[in-house]
Amino acid sequence: MERFSQQRYFLLRPTVQFLLLPLPLAIAWIIAWRMALALQSLFLVTTVATVVVSVGGLLTTRLVVYRRFRKSQTFGKETSFVLSEQGIHMAGPLGEGTVKWPVYPRAVRYDDGIMLLRPRVICWLPDKALQGSTPEEATHLVQANTALRHVA
């Protein structure tokens, strides 16, 4: 999940949304607190509320995403991917089919696998699951057909 959220625009990452975006509100509360001592209790309540909403929102988002993964029909089931110059052949519990490379316009190479990306969909291809190929060959094939980015 962390790797997937790293691929989103900075302001669309859950961590940024729930922990950094309330920052201007907190600054406004600090200014109001400094200007009038009568607002100290309001400052305390709003600060606590901001922390609860920020952390609670982040945890709720993670919980919802994890639940969504666990409830999917493919969770815990084996799916095979065969990469070729023509495209990606997938076979799993929902059936099988072949898609052409433009379906996954972007990919990210991590030290332990490749993540194929398209809007709202990812395919994780771990190196340890490779059969009949090497990570270097898989990386070369993906790089020839997508915009591949390397992440250490």
What's the whole-number average pLDDT of the chain? 82
pTM equals 0.63
Which one-letter amino acid corresponds to residue 93? P
The closest alpha carbon to 149, from 100, 87, 117, 106, belongs to 106
| pLDDT band at 92; cut points 50, 70, 90 | confident
Q: How far apart are alpha carbons 132 and 144 in whole angstroms? A: 19
List of residues 6+ apart from 101 with CB closer than 8 A: 87, 88, 145, 146
| pLDDT band at 37; cut points 50, 70, 90 | low
pLDDT in tens, 97-120: 999 999 999 999 999 999 998 887
Full DSSP string of 74-89: TTT---EEEE-SS-EE
Q: How far apart are alpha carbons 7 and 108 in whole angstroms? A: 9
